Structure 1
Amino acid sequence: MRGQEILDEFRDAGALLEGHFILSSGLRSPVFLQKMRIFEDPVRTERVCRALAEVIRESFGQVDLVVSPAIGGIVPGYETARALGCKAVFVERVDGEFQLRRGFEIHAGQRIVVVEDLVTTGLSSRECIAAIREYPGELLGLACIVDRSGGKADVGIPLVSLAQLDIPAYPADALPPELAAIPAVKPGSRVAA
């Protein structure tokens, strides 16, 4: 399941929204992927994350540990790790920086993949990767369900996805007229930067 099939999963779940949206980065976009509509359905989540696990195996081989950023990456990270037959941990913000907590560990020799739900600018991915680099282990790459940067996000390690979209994102003061004519809404969970 890749490309259009993944986008169909978002459409079928009511998770592909069109309008004028304020992204967590503060940028504006005509399209918003409400990923939690995917993750509220365990059957759909399992199906999508099983497909992501297949891409991870094809791209990186054996994986020993999945690390995800809290909070949006926890569900897909866990479910993808389950499909891979490995452990899942997550990093969470402490004083604004991602850290491993709760007794989670990364050991020397472990083959690690970061799992994200969506990548837009790659900022949270890069922050997660920076936290992981503080530990031993082999960081293989990052896998996400949808890369909404169209392959432009630079996370510093190989990035694979089930679907790529090239969805435009604009600063609030540089909106195209058709987007500026629509009231903006912020459906995400993080406060804009």
Structure 2
Amino acid sequence: MTSEDVLEVFREAGALLEGHFILSSGRRSPVFLQKALVFSRPDLSARLCAALAERVKAEFGQIDVVAGPAVGGIIPGYELARQLGCRAIFAERSDGKLSFRRGFSIEDGERVLVAEDIVTTGLSFRETVEALDALPGEVVGGSCIIDRSNGAADVGCKLVSLAQVDFPDYAADDLPPELEAIPAIKPGSRGLA
């Protein structure tokens, strides 16, 4: 599956949006990937995660646990784990920090893959890797459906993506005139109560 194939799946779900968007990082972009629309469709989730699972197996080998951040990493992490034949767990924010709760555990020697839907700055991804550092097991690498940073984000481990894109993004105080003329909306999940 190519990057364009992945974007076509997002188009099929009505999830590739154009306008003026506030990203979870606070930066602004004329393009937003509303991944919730993709992951609300099991057929599309399975198609994307099956292709990603093949890349993960080729790069990292056997995986015992897939771990992702809530909210964005829950569905793709679960489906990727299903495709890989292993367990899925997720980290949640507690007192401003990601941690694994709900009885989730990792055993000594288990090989852990971090999974995320879309990587932009890599912040949630790095926070998940940090939360895993408190547990036994070995983080062997990470995965995402779309790397919006086009390989530039520091995620704290080696990253395998299904697609890499380079959509423009801007500081809020340095917008091009075409974005300044459009009201900004914040459709993402960061900051959910």
TM-score (norm 2): 0.96
Note the residue ranges of structure 1 that are not aligned, 5 or more in a row.
Answer: none
Q: Does 1:136 align with 2:136?
A: yes
**CA distance, structure 2, for counterparts of residue 167 and residue 134 of structure 1:** 34
Q: Does 1:102 align with 2:107?
A: no
For residue 27 of structure 1, what is the aligned residue in structure 2?
27
- Cα-to-partner distance string for 1:74-106 (whole Å, 9 max, x where unaligned): 000000000000000011011010111011101
Alignment length, in residue pairs?
Answer: 192
- Does the 8 Å contact 2:71/2:189 carry over to 1? no
Aligned pairs for 1:1-193 (under 5 A) are 1-191=1-191
Q: What secondary structure does 1:188 align onto?
A: coil
Q: Give the letter aligned to residue 93 of structure 2.
A: R
Q: Give the letter aligned to residue 59 of structure 1.
A: E
Q: Give the letter aligned to residue 137 of structure 1.
A: G
**CA distance, structure 1, for counterparts of residue 86 and residue 191 of structure 2:** 32
**CA distance, structure 1, for counterparts of residue 179 and residue 90 of structure 2:** 36
Q: Give the letter aligned to residue 62 of structure 2.
A: Q
* TM-superposed deviation, 1:55: 1.1
- Does the 8 Å contact 1:2/1:51 carry over to 2? no
Note the residue ranges of structure 2 that are not aligned, 5 or more in a row.
Answer: none
Q: Which runs of 4+ in 1 moved over 3 A?
A: none
**CA distance, structure 2, for counterparts of residue 103 and residue 47 of structure 1:** 30
TM-score (norm 1): 0.96
* TM-superposed deviation, 1:183: 1.5
